[in-house]
Chains A and B, each alone.
Chain A
């Protein structure tokens, strides 16, 4: 149990377009999900905390208008990178909190903005 999926696994887009990434908890419900960004050979940087049915909480320095988060159900959270630019290219990973105890992570989405 405790499987989290992400879609797409990788995406290439042109500068100025928007990209949506989905995060799903497949076999459990998650009131809280998290979105992270990871640069090569570095640790994870928390971007925002997503709570079902309410607005996301963004970490300091993360532009909420650029990284739109929606947590419409207990099994789905989405991250939309709006007007993407090359500097937004990164590896985005989501996680879902199970039982208010353990975070389980998705496989990640590689975004390349040309």
Chain B
């Protein structure tokens, strides 16, 4: 079975400060890891993914994430947060031979001006 944990329900940061959203996962085998963002009353927007290769992956809107196999983590980061980054963020995992995604519970990010 595969699962994802997002230990923080909410993350609050000031605009211009670094933003980190935490994610840990549990899978049998090699993970495919994803981050999505959801704005109110909208679907999920794809931010970035780790499939293989470099542990540091860069995605949309200045976000990046680092795959850490030993810690089974895939934390999302942005060096300088914007008010417009305020949204709900989901981490998700799957394994290569199964298309189903397992989602974390989500983390609400609030960036104050």
Seen from chain A, the residues whose Cβ lies within 8 Å of a Cβ on chain B are 2, 4, 6, 32, 34, 41-44, 46, 49, 91, 93, 95, 97, 100-108, 110
Contact = CB atoms under 8 A, between A and B. Distances in A.
A108 B40 CA distance: 11
A43 B90 contact: yes
Contacts of A104: 46
Contacts of B34: 102-103
Interface of B: 32, 34, 36, 41-46, 49, 51, 88, 90, 99-101, 103-106, 108
Given A43-B90, A44-B90, A110 B101 contact: no
Contacts of A101: 32, 49, 51
A6 B41 CA distance: 13
Contacts of B41: 91, 108, 110
B99 A44 contact: no
Nearest to B34: A102
